[in-house]
Structure formats: structure tokens, C-alpha cells
Amino acid sequence: QVQLVESGGGSVQAGGSLRLSCAAYGYTYSSDCMGWFRQAPGKEREGAASVTTGGSGSRTYYADSVKGRFTISQDNAKNTVYLQMNSLKPEDTAMYYCATGAGGCWYRPLRDNEYNYWGQGTQVTVSS
């Protein structure tokens, strides 16, 4: 079994920064994908960022809405993924979930249905 535990959410004013962490417990292949998804009330769940690892190394992917502001990184020794969020905007307000998957997520790294293990979520609130 794989368990994911997120932390780092909170409230911040527009323009501020937060760093989210997600620790994965259980065996994970180096080729697995780890991603951050978010969902605001009344909106569909959106893939914000992901990192995939394969024979060619790691690749990162970002939604257009966060590109240039968010950075995903991972510590393989700790099996932990981070999301550094800078220049936060009110529209970034959402519940943020981390997830891990394998196989299909290489090809669709920001699609939530390619991920099979999910954390409990951490709330991010950005005020004006």
C-alpha cells in the first residue's frame, strides 16, 4: 500500500509564497509519476504540476495557469515531492492534492485519471 501525506498549506496574501510537501510511504518505482492537483469549489480538478522519471531522467510539466510561478521538485531519497508556489494569486485558492501513478502518467502527466494513489489534500487560500 502507498500512503501520501501532504503538508504546507495555509493562508497567504496575493503575491506571497507557500511550499507544499508530500511524503510517499511505501515502495515506489523510480519511473513513477508524482503530481500536484488542485480543485476549487465548483471547478474540475486541475493538474497543476507533475514530475516523471524514466530512462531519460526526470521531466516536469505545468499547467499554463501556474507556469513560471510554481516549481515542482522531488527528493528521491525521502520519496517526497514539493511544490514551491510563488506570486500566488486569489485564483490559486483550492484544495491541493498530491498523487502518484505509473505507466500512463508518463504520457498524460496532468490527467488525474492516470494517478491511482492520492493524499488527503491541503488547503491553500490566497487573499487579495
How much is the pLDDT for 78? 81
Residue with the three cell numbers 484544495: 95
How much is the pLDDT for 12? 98
**Maximum separation of any 2 CA atoms in the chain, in Å:** 43
- From the list 101, 95, 117, the residue with the least C-alpha distance to 50 is 101
How much is the pLDDT for 31? 60
How much is the pLDDT for 79? 84
Number of alpha carbons in the 13 Å side-chain half-sphere of residue 119: 26
pLDDT in tens, 53-67: 887 788 999 999 999
Give the separation between CA 55 and CA 69, rounded to whole angstroms: 28
pLDDT in tens, 67-116: 999 999 998 788 899 999 999 999 999 999 999 998 899 999 999 999 99
pLDDT in tens, 20-38: 999 999 866 666 899 999 9
